[in-house]
Amino acid sequence: MTVRRRAVLGGLAAGAGLLAAPAALGQGRPQVVVVGGGSGGATAARYLAMQSNGALDVTLVEPSRRYYTCYFSNLYLGGFWPFEDLAHSYAALASRHGINVLHDWAIGVDRDARTVTLAGGATLPYDRLVLSPGIDFVEGSVPGWDIAAHGRMPHAYKPGTQTALLRAQVEAMPEGGVYAMVAPPNPYRCPPGPYERISMVAHVLSEQNPTAKILIADPKESFSKQALFEEGWNRHYPGMIERVGPDFGGDVVEVDPEAMTLAIDGVVEQVDVCNVIPAQKAGRIAELAGLTDAAGWVPIDAFTMKSQADPEIFVLGDASIAGDMPKSGFSANSQAKVAVNVIRHELLDSRLFPARYANTCWSLIATEDGVKVGASYEPTEERIATVDSFISQTGESAELRAETFRESIGWYNGIVADMFT
Amino acid sequence: MRRLRLSFGVVLAGLWGAAGAASAMEAGTGDPVRGGELWAQQCAMCHALSPAAEEGLGPHLADLIGRPVAGVEGYAGYSEALRALAGQGAVWDVERLRAFLRAPYREVPGTRMGFGGLDSASDTDHLIAFLTEAGPDASTAESGFRVPREVLAIEGETDWGEFLAAECSTCHRRDGSADGIPAITGWDTRSFVTVMHAYREKVRPNPTMQTIAARLSDEEIAALAAYFATLERAPH
């Protein structure tokens, strides 16, 4: 462990007093602003409030009034999870934990003044800032597609209405039609996500439209849980799914949303659904705060989740470069707890425990056919590094797969409780 | 610690082999070989199958079927709840056992057993088939996983446990409710410690829990046990 700099608390309270803000209730208490109410941000806000017994003034900035999880949205596509059960309210964070929940957009960070500017006009002072802004898409990464086309070619890679749209499109496919996916290059949110989605779409089509085809254009040589997915696709959906990897031009694609065509290495295919998952980068506020690298992600300190560019800003979840940890809701939740421990130590002099991280990603391949991959991690000087890992095996019994699926439901209900109750 | 590693399911599978299938039919729907695997994974770290075995956290379960509830003389660990049940003359018949194994905290609120119940009715039948057969000759079951007394005696630090527990509560809910992932609140600390050591030594099978437990020290496990013991077990 390296020795971490202790925060200097003098003057913070005075600074907070000078600036008018909707969160002025907390004058005199150290102020923590959390931007982004997903797995990283909601967890951070909740734990900051819960573990400091009112000693911190915690503000959560999140534009949406209801949070739709990305995880399990594929299960909704497959008919295994109700849409409304993907949605979660911020009410308990405000009423039970006393967090100032502001439904607004953060549009700027002044790191010298230590303030966050909101689209609604407010300026929030902070002693510590937590950014957990998720992802944005890299413009131009899929030629022919831009965000304006997401009504015809949905990404469904940010939760909510896009997911519902994609499902409606799958159900409206003509008999024997083609579902196409443009899979993203690394790194991206939820590594098994595109392939779980393929599984769920295949499940629906095998029941409703068994002569339909699924075509994946993939710029990656290999992907998460590949052996498990491919085994499952062969078993449950034989002949339905074709994946074109980079050897055959899967990395050279172009789409035409008007014509509903997908060109793979110049070969034009007419498709009925085209799910374009573009290349990704950190959510825009991270870039606006000047924290991103050339690739658009935020380098962090592995011991604390602090931005390497600013020791008063913590960056969680998908937006961060978290070493061996995948971009997942579980990872973000785990990272939030490390950041909270550091923030409480710096602002309230609470006990500092050494950072540790964990992740597990469950995926559903077919009815009761659940698999998982996971690891434990520790900080090193270079990065967050894997300590120990595991993955489901091919050829597992149906009983074990069903148990893994049940476990995933337990995890889902667990993590949303850990964020929102 | 690693000396206690056991390959119990394998041993049992070998012993029962083909005969297991025939006796499973007689006993009903349960498969005693599968039940033996469940026993090794879920029960054997706290219970023995022979009265002569070294006492575990729980009472021995020799000749359990038909035995009076809380009926092992000399076992001091029975909860008030089980003693009260015994006072009504209750007996561990198959029906009571089946209900108890599925949902111990619902069937006997106040039991000290650190086990949230089996996931399925078929697993319950398998385990009962195993227990039924294991009664008369339990000599195969003496290698149950045991945590040394000095490790069980470690006093856990609750605030350290609270920090470490953040890693658990991504999946295990602090309010004690459970679906698909067991509740771990309000457990007897010795049960908690035993179960975590069993994961760390890979006696229990779940790879997620094995990975989590692999890097926990004895003191960290004790801290977690101390913290979770302070949380209420949810009423069912």
Provide the domain count of chain B. 2
Tokens of A101: 């929940």
Domain C-terminal end among B141, B165, B200:
B141
Question: Contact A351/B159, CB-based, under 8 Å?
Answer: yes
ipTM of the complex: 0.82
B12 and B124 share one domain: yes
Domain C-terminal end among B122, B141, B160:
B141
Question: Contact A376/B212, CB-based, under 8 Å?
Answer: yes
Rounded Cα distance between A199 and A41, Å, is 30
By C-alpha distance, the chain B residue nearest A341 is: B163
Asked if B143 and B8 touch (Cβ cutoff 8 Å), the reply is yes
Which residue type does A154 have?
P
- Please indicate, yes or no, if residue B236 is contained in any of the structural domains: no
B23 and B108 share one domain: yes
- Please indicate, yes or no, if residue B120 is contained in any of the structural domains: yes
Asked if A154 and A162 touch (Cβ cutoff 8 Å), the reply is yes
Residues in B touching A389 (Cβ below 8 Å): 211
- In order, the DSSP letters of A380-395 are -SSSEEEEEEEE--TT
pLDDT (0 to 100) of residue B139? 41
- Please indicate, yes or no, if residue B103 is contained in any of the structural domains: yes
> Looking at the DSSP assignment, which residues form a beta bridge with residue B225?
none
Kindly report, residue by residue over B117-172, the tens digit of the pLDDT: 888 889 999 999 988 886 544 444 444 678 888 999 999 999 999 999 999 999 99
Q: Which of A334, A353, A388 sits opposite B170 (nearest CB)?
A: A334
A66 touches chain B (CB under 8 A): no
φ and ψ at residue B21, rounded to 5 degrees:
-60, -45
Our CA angle for A232, A233, A239, nearest 5°, is: 150
pLDDT (0 to 100) of residue B146? 80
CA distance B227 to chain A (A): 14
Rounded Cα distance between A407 and A273, Å, is 32
Q: Which of A358, A406, A407 sits opposite B167 (nearest CB)?
A: A358
**What number of residues does chain B have?**
236
Residues 6+ apart with CB under 8 A from A265: A248, A249, A250, A252, A253
Kindly report, residue by residue over B65-106, the tens digit of the pLDDT: 889 999 998 888 899 999 999 999 999 999 999 999 998 988
Question: Contact A358/B172, CB-based, under 8 Å?
Answer: no
Asked if A321 and A139 touch (Cβ cutoff 8 Å), the reply is no
The topology under which CATH files domain A12-136+280-353 is FAD/NAD(P)-binding domain (3.50.50)
Task: Provide the residue ranges of all domains of chain A, joining segments of one domain with +.
Answer: 12-136+280-353, 146-276
A337 touches chain B (CB under 8 A): yes
Question: Contact B163/A387, CB-based, under 8 Å?
Answer: no
pLDDT (0 to 100) of residue B178? 80
Q: What is the mean pLDDT of chain B?
A: 81
B131 and B80 share one domain: yes
- Please indicate, yes or no, if residue B235 is contained in any of the structural domains: no
Kind of pairing, strands A369-379 and A357-366?
antiparallel
Which residue type does A373 have?
V
B176 and B226 share one domain: yes
Which residue type does A89 have?
S
- What are the angstrom distances between the C-alpha of B211 and each of A190, A308, A386, A415? 20, 29, 11, 19
Residues in B touching A413 (Cβ below 8 Å): 173, 179-180
B155 and B88 share one domain: no
B73 and B188 share one domain: no
Residues in B touching A421 (Cβ below 8 Å): 175
Rounded Cα distance between B35 and B134, Å, is 10
Longest CA pairwise span in chain A (Å)? 69
Question: Contact A414/B170, CB-based, under 8 Å?
Answer: yes
Domain C-terminal end among B141, B169, B185:
B141
B34 and B107 share one domain: yes
Asked if A28 and A347 touch (Cβ cutoff 8 Å), the reply is no
| Residue from A243, A241, A276 nearest A257 by CA | A276
> Looking at the DSSP assignment, which residues form a beta bridge with residue A281?
A136
B171 and B89 share one domain: no
What domain range includes position B164? Answer: 149-230
Residues in A touching B178 (Cβ below 8 Å): 410
pLDDT (0 to 100) of residue A17? 39
**Where in A62-217 does DSSP place strands (E)?**
66-68, 87-89, 100-102, 106-110, 115-118, 123-125, 128-131, 135-137, 178-182, 213-217
Question: Contact B180/A411, CB-based, under 8 Å?
Answer: yes
Residue of A390, A391, A408 to mutate, testing the B interface (most B Cβ within 10 Å of its Cβ): A390
First to last CA, chain B: 36
A393 touches chain B (CB under 8 A): no
Which domain CATH number covers B171?
Answer: 1.10.760.10
Longest CA pairwise span in chain B (Å)? 53
Rounded Cα distance between A123 and A126, Å, is 10
Question: Contact A414/B175, CB-based, under 8 Å?
Answer: no
B115 and B154 share one domain: no
Question: Contact B169/A414, CB-based, under 8 Å?
Answer: yes
One fold for both A12-136+280-353 and A146-276? Answer: yes
Tokens of A313: 């800003």
| Residue from A282, A284, A289 nearest A110 by CA | A289
B56 and B117 share one domain: yes
A113 vs B39, higher pLDDT: A113
Q: Which of A51, A406, A410 sits opposite B171 (nearest CB)?
A: A410
pLDDT (0 to 100) of residue B100? 95
CATH number given to A146-276: 3.50.50.60
- Please indicate, yes or no, if residue B99 is contained in any of the structural domains: yes
Residues in B touching A418 (Cβ below 8 Å): 169-170, 173
Q: What is the CA radius of gyration of chain B?
A: 17
Residues in A touching B166 (Cβ below 8 Å): 47, 337
B111 and B127 share one domain: yes
CB pairs under 8 A between A and B: 82
CA distance B67 to chain A (A): 32
Question: Contact A388/B179, CB-based, under 8 Å?
Answer: no
Rounded Cα distance between A349 and A358, Å, is 25
φ and ψ at residue A273, rounded to 5 degrees:
-130, 140
Beta-carbon-side half-sphere exposure of residue B235 (alpha carbons within 13 Å): 0
Which residue type does A394 have?
T
- For every one of its 421 residues, what pLDDT tens digit does chain A have, with 9 covering 90 and above? 343 433 333 333 333 434 434 444 445 899 999 999 999 999 999 999 999 999 999 999 999 999 999 999 999 999 999 999 999 999 999 999 999 999 999 999 999 999 999 999 999 999 999 999 999 999 999 999 999 999 999 999 998 899 999 999 999 999 999 999 999 999 999 999 999 999 999 999 999 999 999 999 999 999 999 999 999 999 999 999 999 999 999 999 999 999 999 999 999 999 999 999 999 999 999 999 999 999 999 999 999 999 999 999 999 999 999 999 999 999 999 999 999 999 999 999 999 999 999 999 999 999 999 999 999 999 999 999 999 999 999 999 998 999 999 999 999 999 999 999 9
Rounded Cα distance between B21 and B131, Å, is 15
Residues in A touching B215 (Cβ below 8 Å): 356, 376, 378, 387-388
- In order, the DSSP letters of A340-390 are HHHHHHHHH-PPP----EEEEEEEEEETTEEEEEEEEEEE-SSSEEEEEEE
Element (H, E) at B102: helix B94-102
For A299, which DSSP code?
E
Question: Contact B180/A417, CB-based, under 8 Å?
Answer: no
Question: Contact A410/B181, CB-based, under 8 Å?
Answer: yes
B159 and B198 share one domain: yes
Question: Contact B172/A414, CB-based, under 8 Å?
Answer: yes
For B40, which DSSP code?
I
CA distance A410 to chain B (A): 4
A415 touches chain B (CB under 8 A): yes
Residues 6+ apart with CB under 8 A from B135: B62, B63, B64, B65
For B91, which DSSP code?
B
